[in-house]
């Protein structure tokens, strides 16, 4: 699929493949860049003037009313606000291990207790074991689906049933940062349960498929009474440029589809490289792949950096695994060359 991409700046034309943060190297789209540039005229103003229009656009996209939405500075701010809200006063959070830790580490800063439940043999959430950990002090159960760093996706019916049952005992959080990359048809967002009035909070981000990681904008979707409580614990919020960029991103269907196709293409290239090397990996529903090198990540990361490829980091207890994000096909070539040299040395 050909697409009129924006000219990249000199810094992104270097020869280092940055494949360690699950970003989208094709973003922001041309239309979004134009919207951001135009938004500079309003950059002397506080965001309140333009905030409402994004709120309305997100609400329309999600099929809820605006009082269900909390706009945040990246979804990380939403995760932290939830960690603070539900971790205070020794609140207990149950989460998979490994998973995206921002909420849990933040909750721990405020005295929250976190129960980390190891992923199952297929590297997915062990929902049965997680459910067994629920007790009367459990304030929240965190689900990252698809999961970072393992890239796994829960069966949709199993997930839905779990959320329905669990939300009667505790708040359920569904981190859907990678939701857009799911290729399984009709895979539901847990926003469907929010609409049914359940104790469910969903986070989404503009950092991944929309390619706006540097702009810091995301949002939470929750029942209005929950959303109001969370809104009170937001600290940074976002900014005028990000708001105007996000508004345009939601309309730019061409770029959205383009990003998904590019991700599939790059992921196939990663699989091919790993197959060539006979390395084990987890089939991914995201824009990254978790694979087993059989060597300690503290050795592999610097070795790959020497080959101008930045890859992701230690995810205990899987020290002999690494996470590689999708990138441009040039990035993928650098990865192919680099990992083959490192693994064969």
Ligand X SMILES: Cc1ncc(COP(=O)(O)O)c(C=O)c1O
Give contact residues for ligand X (rule: CB under 6 A): 22, 74-76, 100, 144, 148, 175, 177, 205, 207, 213, 218
CB of 115 to ligand X, least distance (A): 19
CB of 76 to ligand X, least distance (A): 3
Distance CA 337, CA 322 (A): 16
CB of 207 to ligand X, least distance (A): 3
Smallest CA-to-CA distance from 134 within 123, 145, 142 is with: 142
CB of 248 to ligand X, least distance (A): 18
Which is closer to ligand X, CB of 273 or CB of 286?
286
- Cα 269 to the center of its chain, rounded Å: 22
Which is closer to ligand X, CB of 174 or CB of 273?
174
Which is closer to ligand X, CB of 176 or CB of 336?
176
Which is closer to ligand X, CB of 54 or CB of 343?
54
CB of 145 to ligand X, least distance (A): 9
Which is closer to ligand X, CB of 35 or CB of 82?
82
Q: List strand residue ranges (DSSP E) for the chain, in order.
A: 17-19, 69-72, 92-97, 113-118, 138-144, 171-175, 200-205, 218-221, 288-292, 309-311, 321-325
In what side-by-side order are the strands of the sheet with 69-72?
69-72, 218-221, 200-205, 171-175, 138-144, 92-97, 113-118
Which is closer to ligand X, CB of 75 or CB of 85?
75
Do residues 166 and 140 make contact, with C-beta atoms less than 8 angstroms apart?
A: no
CB of 4 to ligand X, least distance (A): 26
Q: Coil, helix or strand for 283?
A: coil
DSSP state of 6: P
The residue number with the shortest CB distance to ligand X is 74
């Amino acid at each position: 699929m050909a697409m009129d991409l924006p000219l990249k700046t000199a810094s992104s034309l270097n020869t280092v493949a940055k494949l360690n943060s699950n970003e989208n190297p094709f973003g922001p789209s041309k239309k979004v860049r134009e919207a951001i540039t135009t938004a500079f005229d309003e950059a002397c103003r506080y965001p309140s003037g333009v905030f409402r229009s994004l709120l309305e656009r997100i609400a329309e996209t999600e099929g809820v009313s605006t009082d269900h939405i909390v706009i945040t500075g990246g979804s990380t701010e939403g995760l932290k606000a939830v960690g603070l809200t539900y971790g205070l006063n020794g609140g207990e959070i149950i989460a998979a291990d490994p998973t995206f830790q921002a909420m849990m580490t933040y909750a721990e800063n405020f005295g929250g207790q976190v129960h980390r439940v190891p992923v199952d043999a297929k590297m997915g959430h062990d929902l049965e074991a997680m459910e067994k950990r629920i007790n009367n002090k459990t304030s929240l159960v965190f689900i990252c689906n698809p999961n970072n760093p393992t890239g796994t996706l829960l069966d949709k019916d199993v997930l839905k049933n779990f959320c329905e049952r669990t939300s009667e005992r505790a708040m359920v959080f569904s981190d859907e940062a990678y939701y857009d990359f799911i290729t399984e048809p009709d895979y539901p967002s847990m926003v469907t349960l929010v609409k049914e009035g359940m104790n469910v909070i969903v986070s989404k981000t503009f950092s991944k498929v929309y390619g706006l990681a540097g702009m810091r904008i995301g949002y939470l979707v929750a029942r209005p009474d929950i959303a109001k409580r969370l809104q009170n614990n937001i600290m940074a919020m976002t900014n005028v440029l990000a708001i105007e960029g996000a508004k345009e991103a939601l309309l730019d269907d061409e770029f959205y589809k383009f990003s998904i196709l590019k991700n599939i293409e790059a992921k196939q290239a990663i699989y091919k490289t790993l197959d060539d090397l006979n390395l084990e990996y987890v089939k991914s529903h995201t824009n990254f792949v978790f694979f087993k090198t059989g060597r300690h990540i503290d050795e592999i990361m610097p070795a790959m950096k020497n080959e101008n490829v930045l890859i992701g980091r230690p995810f205990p207890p899987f020290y002999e695994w690494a996470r590689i994000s999708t990138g441009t096909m040039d990035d993928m070539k650098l990865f192919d060359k680099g990992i083959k040299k490192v693994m064969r040395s």
